[in-house]
């Protein structure tokens, strides 16, 4: 890993993939004082409104402003892929995000037992997707105003990528041992809170000790409230994957 700097900073990166597109992303590297020698890494998945090719918009909503407010104190590497504006397939974003994560881990060498995942709205849905694709990888997941759409039978590629999952209960069983803290606004009329309620119910049927916080007075933007919770960050930094 490059020397952690005296001050935290964002770095621009790009990755050409087999789809022929150049995928640009940002990486926040914490100061040595905040992150130590092997900091955790948090992968952030943006919502549909942050799609584009400017490699900037994905920093403007959600986790990016949180880090900018505490550049020298934020203790983790943070990776911000950006979905192309002309892509309508969130599944493509999932595979791209995992490729970018792999690339960022190789370059910045975080603690491999402390790889964390969070996302909002479209990124909240994709947080479940990535966790199902690689459940052994993530030490904790914090989906915000998301949900899970089980694959249809006509999509065998997605079913295979998700480890054979075809129902919500299948998904919950696959994630039962992964620490999750789910957030949603009770007044969300874009992604209804029932999406998170049904996921937490399935997780509890599967024996998971997943946490769920629903903000009674909040609409779709549950992320500002969630990311403002010191308890969430304390919980995330304590998670460690033991193989």
Judged against a pLDDT cut of 60, whether residue 9 lies above it is answered with yes
Is residue 37 within 8 A of residue 48, CB to CB? The reply is no
Residue 150's pLDDT band, with cuts at 50, 70 and 90, is very high
Hey, CA dihedral for 67, 146, 160, 92, is it positive or negative?
A: negative
How do the domains of the chain map onto residue ranges?
9-238
Distance CA 239, CA 8 (A): 22
For tokens 């892509």, what's the residue?
87
In CATH, what is the architecture of 9-238? 3-Layer(aba) Sandwich (3.40)
Distance CA 45, CA 24 (A): 14
Q: What is the pLDDT of residues 37-59, one digit of tens each?
A: 899 999 999 988 888 889 999 99
Residue 1's pLDDT band, with cuts at 50, 70 and 90, is very low
């Amino acid at each position: 890993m490059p020397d952690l700097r005296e001050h935290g900073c964002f770095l621009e990166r790009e990755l050409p993939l087999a789809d022929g597109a150049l995928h640009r992303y940002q990486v926040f590297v914490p100061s040595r004082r905040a992150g130590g020698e092997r900091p955790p890494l948090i992968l952030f998945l943006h919502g549909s409104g942050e799609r584009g090719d400017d490699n900037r918009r994905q920093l403007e909503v959600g986790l990016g402003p949180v880090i900018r407010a505490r550049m020298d104190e934020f203790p983790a590497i943070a990776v911000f892929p950006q979905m192309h504006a002309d892509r309508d397939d969130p599944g493509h974003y999932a595979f791209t995000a995992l490729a970018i994560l792999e690339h960022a881990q190789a370059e910045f060498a975080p603690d491999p037992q402390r790889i964390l995942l969070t996302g909002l709205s479209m990124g909240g849905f994709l947080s479940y997707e990535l966790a199902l694709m690689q459940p052994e990888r993530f030490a904790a997941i914090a989906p915000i105003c998301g949900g899970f759409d089980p694959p249809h039978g006509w999509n065998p590629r997605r079913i295979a990528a998700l480890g054979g999952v075809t129902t919500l209960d299948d998904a919950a069983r696959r994630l039962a041992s992964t620490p999750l803290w789910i957030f949603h606004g009770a007044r969300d009329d874009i992604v209804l809170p029932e999406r998170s309620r049904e996921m937490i119910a399935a997780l509890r049927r599967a024996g998971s000790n997943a946490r769920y916080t629903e903000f009674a007075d909040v609409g779709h933007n549950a992320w500002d409230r969630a990311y403002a919770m010191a308890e969430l960050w304390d919980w995330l930094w304590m998670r460690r994957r033991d193989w």
